[in-house]
Amino acid sequence: MLTASQLRAARAMTGMTVDELATASGLSSSAIEEAEAAEAFASPSVTERLRTIFESKGIVFLAAGDGDPGIGPGLRLRQRSHDEGIRPQNLNAANDG
């Protein structure tokens, strides 16, 4: 179950506004604001919808105690691989675009 704090943090880490999240999730802006103010999500369908959106943007949700029994729930931002393009030594007619 996601907490309201995790949702607020995920939205901040991805730089999404309430309106952008509402559009992406199909939920109303007021539903997003209510979810961010709640202690925990009551609806599993809302939780999974928001989880899927944030995970596609690189968020990893952590349950309480993940890795350390004294730690509460949280999240991390998955490290993205950077596309450096084609290195000069690999340029040739076959990949000339």
What helix, strand, coil percent values describe the chain, rounded to 5?
50, 10, 40
In a domain, 94, yes or no: no
In a domain, 83, yes or no: no
What pTM was computed for the model? 0.73
Q: What angle, rounded to 10 degrees, do the helices at 29-37 and 18-25 form?
A: 110
Give the model confidence (pLDDT) of 26-55 as tens digits: 999 988 888 888 865 667 788 888 999 999
In a domain, 91, yes or no: no
- For residue 4 the two structure tokens come to 């309201």
Number of domains composing the chain: 1
Q: Supply the CATH number for residue 23's domain.
A: 1.10.260.40
Domain of 29? 4-77
Give the model confidence (pLDDT) of 13-28 as tens digits: 999 999 999 999 999 9
In a domain, 97, yes or no: no
